[in-house]
Structure 1
Amino acid sequence: MSILGLDVGDIRIGIAISEDLLFAHPFQTIERIGVKKDIQNLCRVVTEKDVETIVIGLPKRLNGEIGIQAEKVQGFSRRLEKNTKAKIVFWDERLTTVEAERIFQTTATNRKKRRKKVVDQIAAVLILEGYLSRFHRPHNLPNNA
Structure 2
Amino acid sequence: MKWMGLDYGDRTIGVALSDELGWTAQGLEVIRRTNKAADLARLGEIIREHGVEEIVVGLPKNMNNTIGPRGELSMEFAQLLQTKFGLPVHLWDERLTTVSAERALLEADVSRKKRRQVIDKMAASLILQGYLDSNKRR
TM-score (norm 1): 0.88
Aligned counterparts of 1:96 and 1:57: Cα–Cα separation in 2: 9
Aligned length: 137
The amino acid across from 1:47 in the alignment is: R
Counterpart for residue 118 of structure 1: 118
| Alpha-carbon contact 1:59-1:92 (below 8 Å) kept | yes
Consecutive unaligned residues in structure 1, runs of 5 or more:
140-145
Report the Cα distance in structure 2 between the residues aligned to 1:65 and 1:136, rounded to whole angstroms: 26
Partner of 1:72: helix, strand, or coil? helix
Q: What are the Cα deviations for residues 6-30 of structure 1, in whole angstroms up to 9, with x where unaligned?
A: 0000011111110231011111110
User: What residue ranges of structure 2 are gaps of 5+ in the alignment?
Assistant: none
Q: Assess if the C-alpha contact under 8 Å between 1:24 and 1:128 holds in 2.
A: yes
Retained in 2: the 8 A contact 1:57–1:91? yes
Amino acid at match of 1:129: Q
Q: Distance in 1 between matches of 2:28 and 2:90?
A: 19
State percent identity of aligned pairs.
Answer: 40
Q: In the alignment, what sits opposite 2:11?
A: 11
| 1:33, distance to aligned residue in structure 2 (A) | 0.7
The 5-angstrom pairing of residues 1-40 of structure 1 reads: 1-20=1-20, 21-40=22-41
**Structure 1 letter corresponding to 2:129:** E
Q: Could you tell which deviates more after superposition, 118-127 or 78-87?
A: 78-87
1:97 corresponds in structure 2 to 98
1:108 is displaced (CA, Å) by 4.9
Shift, 1:85, TM fit = 2.5
- Which structure has greater helix proportion? 2
Contact 2:44 2:85 in 1 (8 A): yes
